[in-house]
Structure 1
């Protein structure tokens, strides 16, 4: 027993130390004080700027007076630092199309010439919140960096682009690349975003052919938090930031973001009080180091291939050419076969089977425990107290791995010749343990090989631990050392990712945590392959899930998202609309399932309650249409200075909006329609003229939208009692008009 405990400590202690170190490093660097040297980034100085920009807590979407106030403050700050600041005013459209009048700020030193390194952040916010982290942190960081580099001379000048309308659909970025006067010298774009309010500054995206970028970042970043896994996965998702536009325009790009604290993202709680100074410091240090490194680089000497890369707990970054990944995998596999040549192949087969069983068991058991933990979540993806659920996922992953090893232990022992057929065996023998470890290693290599072919940037997750195990096998270390060293290497790779999984994916996909923990534990499970240990881990997992089940699912500090709308439609009675019906809201008004005619493109459930008519003096949106052969020109005008105009139509495709063609549709985006309806969205305009190709009948619904509305006081009380806050656009007031345009040639 004492020997087993020493063995357990030898394996578990290094892994736990790595986990604790990863958690500590994820907190970010200590903020530098205002007295820091002038050539360094100080989050304390940046926080003072941010307080001025976002301290009032007022949302400032594109086109609002509050947004113009922020724009003017940024303009004045950059001018005071000695920069020449241009205000680019342009009507731009994305591929949706989302369009709008934008006002970008572009700051350069007076003597700037030639290829430019451009630092980018956006100064607008969503309608629901003040955007202190998204992206006030980015703007404050750029102003602090502008101060730090204003007296420096580099091979390539550093330019600052503060875009407008990012939340409205990347409008400022579209406007920037559309004008050659501003964009022609921009060679590299360094963007800062936030999909939360705290956490490490993660370099999660680059442009393609990034090997030259990664080589320079690996040398320059003091605390790199970067992985080609995020880069590879992000390229498969339909998510966008300003970098999406820059990459489409052929610009090299790097993208930094923090993703923790998603409970406050795009809500009123994305305020100055929830800004994290360590995250701000990490962002600023990374941006400043990246800008300086690229400013002294030959920007024309770019590579034609990608890199595979990852950081070692933010101490350093490891990288190699992505094309070498498959050859490293093959070489490691060949060496493993050589090292395992004296091990019984049949015994190793049981290790392979145990590995596959580990993955399947973790998927099934993780799904069941996740379901139990989320029974009371009512669809909320990020709950107020996620730790019990996260622990439940980790423990059930460990249980799945140990259980799978225990199920195949007897076969491995017999195949290794340590126990005669029919004889009982009390425990796993060293020969069987090694055979099962080798079997697991073959599966790790196989997964790495498949990923090297399909998602190259993710292959290192399995390749590095597999390579470490191969080296241990060649060195002929004992099983405990092999397991401990390999599991520690895997923990260094996995732990920084697992820490972020819940914030990145939410409760609906937290089974991924169980799967990753099970795969990690497969490197030690053969040493502790006992069903009773698996039962203990599973029991603890269920206990954690029950704690998660009975814990409050949301709170005043971490509330539930709920946005309300007032809709006045010319053909329907005015209504209050909610996508979520809480008991307190039900008590405040007689909500019932919405009439499907209200939003025919909406696929989810909505509830409506009778609302008063549009207040006196406010005129609803107006729409008119004119057919010209195979095309139709639809004009939509707001009569109440609304923040947004939307045209939903069925039966055609958009040609132009106010004479501007939509941007090209990205290859990773599908043609966007909802139940056959397409949309044109315009911000900061009073009128749009949409020309569509439509030989047949066209059905159109025009809307105008303002942020905020005149809801009854009972709604505010209901929201406070149920701990809900608006998100995204927030509470909005909408007026609508409808019409049908006959097909071409119809009388």
Structure 2
């Protein structure tokens, strides 16, 4: 079979065009530049600037959070509302062997007169110790206040409450306390939660309640097309990620959870500040939150049992595509049958080759992308080598995927482009159907395009010449859905782990490749691949705008004291000079250097140890006057029967592995452990954390370059001691 020059060059153009779309991610990943909404971004950000003040980190139960709370209350009152503080000491129920305690101070206020079946708009006002939290969750606080301002004069069908939780970063403690102990929790029928895991990007609605019929109905009547897809919602529900909404969903509420996740390397760092907060993201989240609250308020809450489940996806800011799950399943079946019909009716031979081309192209193209990603990871010493220049890895994955797929197509030389496209649709739809039982949201990538595949099947019986055009329309519909999803998954996974997503790009190539196009297309992809691979190996891993995460930890344990740096590649030379670091034996990327001992002003006493029947009860008092956090790591925790911390008693679920408490209220802990009398006593490690690396680490912290910043808990001092229990 010969390859025409026209088809060969069209294959090159198609491949390079797909690579360009893949690299610059123009569709659906960034917030829209123009959005018609009454939400006032400048006013919202102005309030946030006043609330954040000097932009100090403000973790729960700290002096900084007290100051922020006072400014926040002043802004709420200035907006015309009457806030209330709901506080208490609370421990989350133990999940996977962990209990987390704090003393949150939640803030609530009604936008409307109080009532039942209320819609609640929620965000959290605390930050992590390492960053000021302008996005996480300043964006949520700012949006909540502006939405409240806009709704206060409107007639609404349901009451609307605002909840600004505390201690979210400590472990969702404020939301858990609200759900478990606040009488207002029983008056809530729907929740709109606002979050961030970055400082820019589209404001995605990534989680609903289950079933989601009421949620989707509310979003549809709200008047704004949300950035949302049910695949992300389904995946989020099975991943070990949580927001405040996790603690509120057991109330059997309807729900919509919104977040931005662009520039995720700034998440929980000093770069999560007002200067880096994308005003377009604020505007989009504000418009979507306003629409969601308005939508929920316009619909009476219904029984969860009576709801249906839907799949959904936005097509830009123009159209919200929603289908009941049963209809989506039927469309997938119809699409599969239609693709099979076109495949069978297409002449020209090559039926076996066309059937083999999609799986072989996926295996070689995706496999090559993954292997090259693993190669770069093995060669580069940095922990997050794609941070500074993610476009290099993105291009490498895309060029590898398309180049590998192109080699398969050149080898097989499928004579009919229509049969190749039909075969690709068969494989795609079959894969989606196979996953439907446990991942029904995946249907969004194929159920809409299935309408065009159905049209192509009908045309194959009547007007065969339009079949390629209808397949082209199906490919365009697939691209409009797939490209934003792929970009969102890269942001969610981070680019180093995003190679498998390139499989979606291969399907686009298969849908649109004009028959046998020879080696020109894979050679063009190979040239791009060579340049991208060289760049991925040579470009700086980190920049001032996209720095590495590097915490300085001054740890004092029974073996002595050391400076420790965890999960990092080569240390910056200036830091290596400031302290003589060596690799830690138990971690490839962990480093330690000798350090002076830390002062220890804490003590832990066994108040009582009694046995009654088959239960042994040990009462401890842990005093740590200068600690910001006390934590207890438990080995042999299978015998636990009960845990009480400062009077709070979380429900025990499984073996106890950890319990901890964050904030000033945790500096004295009265702990009661109830144990099976015949079970072995646990081995407990007592960790006390003070935020900041301290005076002894001053030179080391000063040597940290601008391309490295603290993250999450940040620099800290940690005292580690065993808890001595009688055997």
**More divergent stretch after superposition (147-156 vs 216-225):** 216-225
Q: Secondary structure at the match of 2:201?
A: coil
Conserved 8 A contact 1:354-1:407: no
Residue in structure 2 matched with residue 121 of structure 1 by the alignment: 123
1:425-440 pair list within 5 angstroms: 428=415, 432-440=416-424
Backbone CA RMSD of aligned residues: 2.8
One of 606, 611, 615 as aligned partner of 1:624:
606
Aligned to 1:655: 642
Q: CA deviation at 1:504?
A: 1.3
Q: In the alignment, does 2:490 pair up with 1:510? A: no
1:645 is matched with which residue?
630
Q: CA deviation at 1:215?
A: 2.4
1:300 and 2:288 aligned: no
Counterpart residue number, 1:587: 577
Against the structure 1 CA distance between its residues 254 and 262, is the aligned structure 2 distance closer, same or farther, given a 3 Å change threshold? same
CA distance in 2, matches of 1:639, 1:611: 21
In the alignment, the residues of structure 2 paired with residue 702 and residue 80 of structure 1 have an alpha-carbon distance, to the nearest angstrom, of 45
Match runs of 1:342-491 below 5 Å: 342-343=345-346, 347-374=350-377, 375-376=379-380, 378-380=382-384, 382-409=386-413, 412=414, 428=415, 432-475=416-459, 476-478=464-466, 480-491=468-479
How many Å apart are 1:81 and its aligned residue?
Answer: 2.5
| Alignment match, 1:425 | none
Give the secondary-structure state (helix, strand or coil) at the position aligned to 1:74: helix
User: Aligned partners of 1:739, 1:220: CA distance in 2, in Å?
Assistant: 55
- Taking the aligned partners of 2:320 and 2:498, their CA distance within structure 1 comes to 27
Counterparts of residues 547-696 of structure 1 (less than 5 Å): 547-569=535-557, 571-579=558-566, 580=568, 582-584=571-573, 585-594=575-584, 606-615=590-599, 619-624=601-606, 626-629=608-611, 630-652=615-637, 653=640, 655-658=642-645, 659-662=647-650, 677-684=657-664, 685-688=666-669, 689-694=671-676, 695-696=679-680
Alignment of 1:106-505 (within 5 A): 106-109=108-111, 111-300=113-302, 302=304, 303-343=306-346, 347-374=350-377, 375-376=379-380, 378-380=382-384, 382-409=386-413, 412=414, 428=415, 432-475=416-459, 476-478=464-466, 480-505=468-493
Single out whichever of 522-531 and 324-333 deviates more from structure 2: 522-531
Distance 1:309 1:215 in 2: 11
- Structure 2 gap segments, 5+ residues each: none
Q: What is the CA-CA distance between 1:84 and the residue it aligns to? A: 2.7
Q: Secondary structure at the match of 2:511?
A: coil
Contact 1:18 1:492 in 2 (8 A): no
The one-character-per-residue Cα deviations of 1:247-298 (angstroms, maximum 9, x if unpaired) are 1232222100011111211011111110110000001000011101111111
SS of equivalent residue, structure 2 residue 436: helix
Cα 1:494–1:22 change in 2 (3 A) is same
* Deviation of 1:381 (Å): 5.8
**Cα distance in 2, alignment partners of residues 259 and 605 from structure 1:** 26
| Cα shift readout 1:674-712 (whole Å, capped 9, x = no counterpart) | xxx534344442222142425212211112212113143
| Residues 242 and 2 of structure 1: CA distance in aligned 2, closer, same or farther (over 3 Å) | same
SS of the equivalent of 2:138 reads: helix
- 2:703 aligned residue: 718
Note if contact 1:473-1:482 (Cα within 8 Å) is conserved in structure 2: no
Write out per-residue CA displacement over residues 629-655 of structure 1, whole angstroms, 9 at most, x where no aligned residue: 333435242332321111112222362
- Alpha carbons of 1:408 and 1:646: their partners in 2 closer, same or farther (altered >3 Å)? same
Q: Is the 2:624–2:668 Cα contact (8 Å) retained in structure 1? A: no
Distance 1:469 1:16, change over 3 A: farther
Stretches of structure 1 lacking an aligned partner (at least 5 in a row): 413-427, 597-602, 666-670
In 2, Cα distance between equivalents of 1:98 and 1:227: 32
Q: Which stretch shows the higher mean deviation, 557-566 or 321-330?
A: 321-330
Structure 1 Cα separation of the partners of residues 367 and 697 of structure 2 = 47
SS at structure 1 position matched to 2:718: strand
Counterpart contact for 1:217–1:290, Cα < 8 Å: yes
Structure-2-length-normalised TM-score = 0.90
